[in-house]
Amino acid sequence: MIGFLRLFLVALVFLSLAYLIVRTYARSVHREELEREWDESRSGLSEADRDIFINAGMRVYQQGAGRRLLWLVFILPAVAFAVIVWLVNAQ
């Protein structure tokens, strides 16, 4: 039982680090996309308008990305691990 708890804690730490890395990378990629879109289409407006556009786009992105990343990084690996353990022990 102690071994399982130790495995759970190590997995939780690893998945938390993976979540933070993936979240940071995805946010930076999306921000670069917004900056590129601004540079291509709205180059005549002021820098303040650019910041407003990028911040609004990041807020919209953050509302949907959080749930998807939680599923991708925490839920799916836990379910896959549980299914593998069940299949191995079912024989």
Q: Average pLDDT, stretch 56-64?
A: 89
pLDDT in tens, 17-33: 999 999 999 999 999 99
How many structural domains compose the chain?
Answer: 1
* Residue 80 domain boundaries: 2-89
In this predicted model, what pLDDT tens digit does every residue of 30-47 receive, in sequence order? 999 999 999 888 766 788
First to last CA, the chain: 21
Alpha-helical runs (H) found in 1-91: 2-41, 47-70, 76-89
Q: What residues contact 7, with CB distance under 8 A and at least 6 apart?
A: none
pTM score of the predicted model:
0.74
Amino acid at 58: M
